[in-house]
Chain A
Amino acid sequence: MSEPLLCELSVPGRVGFRFPEVDVPQAPLPEGMLRQELPLPELYEVDVVRHYTRLSQLNHGIDIGFYPLGSCTMKYNPKVNEEVARLPGFAHVHPLQPEETVQGSLALMYQLQEWLKEIGGFAGVTLQPAAGAQGELTGVLIIRAYHEANGQSQRNKILIPDSAHGTNPATSAMSGMRVVEIKSDGRGNVDLEALRAECDESLAGLMLTNPNTLGLFDENVEEVVRLVHAAGGLVYGDGANLNALLGIVRPGDLGIDVLHYNLHKTFSTPHGGGGPGSGPVGVAEKLVDFLPGPLVDIIEPGDDEEPPLYGFVYPKKSIGRVKAFHGHFGMMARAYTYMRMHGKEGMRMISEYAVLNANYLRARLRDVYHVPYDRICMHEFVAEGRWPDIPDIQALDIAKRLMDFGFHPPTNYFPLIVHDALMIEPTETESLQNLDAFADAMIKIAEEARSNPELLKTAPHNTPVGRVDEVKAAKELVLCCGFRSTDLSSK
């Protein structure tokens, strides 16, 4: 790579920051705890700033270009979100401040809970979980607590369709549940026969990703929910793909009992390196008492003169805290801003454009890339990154070559039920010109795959780092640079 490491830039004696003179009494450290030397890089402040600025320019992010990473909803993060999150009244509050001194922040959390309830069709919402996977864990722990409270602790089986998100089985296993996979049928829906066969008295619930990772809305979702409920199970909804449904379908109205939202996907808070995430969980009426606590509520109602007094309440049979303090408050401020800026009508438009954009790309690419479940999709679709006439070319080669055109590759090799899957999610924030540029690049790559396959096999060519050796990266886990190796190896 063109950019050296900080330890390679280090020059002995360079100082970036000097501590002021000590103006308090000195207390010596115990003898045995004193280091003889501390081998850290020695640099001027300007060296460090330029190093990190250069590194940031080598990265690809949503502020640099198109990022159609399927099921990740890499939509643009509006900058007004950042302005609001940085308002001193939000940015400088401390979670241990007395409640009466943080009424504005509590009002924001309360309103966000209310909006998420309305969007999802739920009776209660917790904002605590740190991200989607922790939201899932919270949801499955709530399902477990519900069965235990009903004297049904033998219910330890969670059904997971093979088109679900990859985190679902891990979540269930962590919750002490047994995972059984349910196949998809020929149209990409949950196979109802396979589902019926598993609906018995050990059923705790089903984790449904809808739309699923094929980008398809399950055409039998009402029957799926009915079967699970009839067997005494609950339905968990993985809300990672909620960007397709805003203002159109409410998961709670479909009978889904628990669902997590990803504020860092659907509600435009930063994602990936810009995180942290935030994974609120919504629940149906019968599960409200099990939510993690505390929740924000109105303690004393307001009137024409006085605003209400907000405070914390603890649900009666709460599964307990799942996160220190109250979750990632900065993300709540950003998601609140996003909802406020869009309003009710805007929410629906977000999903309509997300679905339109995905279908536009599907229609432009389906003659060149095989789309195995080829019907009207939701916010994403899955194509095969392979052709029978050129068996050497795989999805990975196409993904790598896309980087040469300035695009982040789609999710690849997932879902597992499509050979050489390329899962493409454009989101609503891309213009027609950007969608066309991406489709043109994909079509050109398909031509290159036949005219010059080597170009794909050795891609990327225009990036700071070329094709990496993934086997070596996975097997030789050297995560630490040898800073002045003699200093460290002698210890």
Chain B
Amino acid sequence: MNIPTELKYTENDEWIRVEGNIGTVGITDHAQEQLSDIVYVEILVSEGDRVAKGDSCATIESVKAAADVYMPVSGKIVAINEKLPDTPEMVNSDPYGGAWMVKVELSNPSELNGLLDASAYQAKIAASE
């Protein structure tokens, strides 16, 4: 299972990559593996929206289940991945790359301290198995 060390993670299986003041958000390799084949992605926020940590920013559906994707941090949405709803299978094939969902300008960077690093996320997965 792929857990890149440069990313931060949530208990709910989202990842965030921070570059400067901008965070890019998606779901993890473990999450896509649990969900199996993803058939539908809907991004619920638009560019310019103010979002709070814990807000739902996307809905994904697989042949097994539907799941919400939650914001790992608060801020302003500066971009959404418009291609993803047309290529939901990208979440399975490239969860940390082409399947990013939103980019957010962080309003409270200290929230990052509350997220998991790769080894803590790995431990969380092991505990839930």
Residue among A413, A414, A471 making CB contact with B39, cutoff 8 Å: A471
Residue among A413, A470, A471 making CB contact with B65, cutoff 8 Å: A413
Residues of B within 8 A of A471 (CB): 37, 39, 63, 89
Residue among B40, B64, B88, B89 making CB contact with A413, cutoff 8 Å: B64
Residues of B within 8 A of A475 (CB): 39-40, 88
> How far apart are the CA atoms of A414 and B37 in the complex, in Å?
16
Query: Are A474 and B63 interface neighbours, CB within 8 A?
Result: yes
Mind listing 13 A-B residue pairs with CB under 8 Å? A413-B64, A413-B65, A414-B65, A419-B129, A470-B63, A471-B37, A471-B39, A474-B39, A474-B61, A474-B63, A475-B39, A475-B40, A475-B88
> How far apart are the CA atoms of A475 and B61 in the complex, in Å?
11
> How far apart are the CA atoms of A33 and B65 in the complex, in Å?
45
> How far apart are the CA atoms of A471 and B40 in the complex, in Å?
10
Determine how close the nearest CB of chain A comes to the CB of B60; give it in whole angstroms: 12
Residues of A within 8 A of B65 (CB): 413-414, 416
Residues of B within 8 A of A396 (CB): 64
Q: Which 4 A-B pairs have the closest CB atoms?
A: A474-B39, A470-B63, A413-B64, A471-B37
Residues 356-409 (chain A) with a chain B CB within 8 angstroms: 396
Determine how close the nearest CB of chain A comes to the CB of B30; give it in whole angstroms: 13
Residues 28-82 (chain B) with a chain A CB within 8 angstroms: 37, 39-40, 61, 63-65
Determine how close the nearest CB of chain B comes to the CB of A303; give it in whole angstroms: 58
Given A419-B129, A471-B63: 17 more A-B contacts, CB < 8 Å:
A396-B64, A413-B64, A413-B65, A414-B65, A416-B65, A470-B37, A470-B63, A471-B37, A471-B39, A471-B89, A474-B39, A474-B40, A474-B61, A474-B63, A475-B39, A475-B40, A475-B88
> How far apart are the CA atoms of A260 and B85 in the complex, in Å?
36
Residues of A within 8 A of B40 (CB): 474-475
Residues 446-473 (chain A) with a chain B CB within 8 angstroms: 470-471
Residues of B within 8 A of A413 (CB): 64-65
> How far apart are the CA atoms of A419 and B33 in the complex, in Å?
12
> How far apart are the CA atoms of A396 and B37 in the complex, in Å?
13
Residues 138-161 (chain A) with a chain B CB within 8 angstroms: none
Q: Tell which of B37, B40, B88, B89 has the most Cβ of chain A within 10 Å.
A: B37
Determine how close the nearest CB of chain B comes to the CB of A321; give it in whole angstroms: 31
> How far apart are the CA atoms of A322 and B96 in the complex, in Å?
46
> How far apart are the CA atoms of A4 and B15 in the complex, in Å?
49
Residues 397-436 (chain A) with a chain B CB within 8 angstroms: 413-414, 416, 419
Determine how close the nearest CB of chain B comes to the CB of A128; give it in whole angstroms: 29
Determine how close the nearest CB of chain B comes to the CB of A173; give it in whole angstroms: 11
> How far apart are the CA atoms of A58 and B89 in the complex, in Å?
33
Determine how close the nearest CB of chain B comes to the CB of A419; give it in whole angstroms: 8
Residues of A within 8 A of B89 (CB): 471
> How far apart are the CA atoms of A394 and B46 in the complex, in Å?
37
A413 and chain B: residue at smallest CB distance: B64
Determine how close the nearest CB of chain A comes to the CB of B27; give it in whole angstroms: 15
> How far apart are the CA atoms of A474 and B37 in the complex, in Å?
10
> How far apart are the CA atoms of A413 and B64 in the complex, in Å?
6
> How far apart are the CA atoms of A419 and B64 in the complex, in Å?
11
> How far apart are the CA atoms of A359 and B65 in the complex, in Å?
27
Determine how close the nearest CB of chain A comes to the CB of B33; give it in whole angstroms: 11
> How far apart are the CA atoms of A416 and B13 in the complex, in Å?
14
> How far apart are the CA atoms of A419 and B129 in the complex, in Å?
8
Determine how close the nearest CB of chain B comes to the CB of A366; give it in whole angstroms: 20
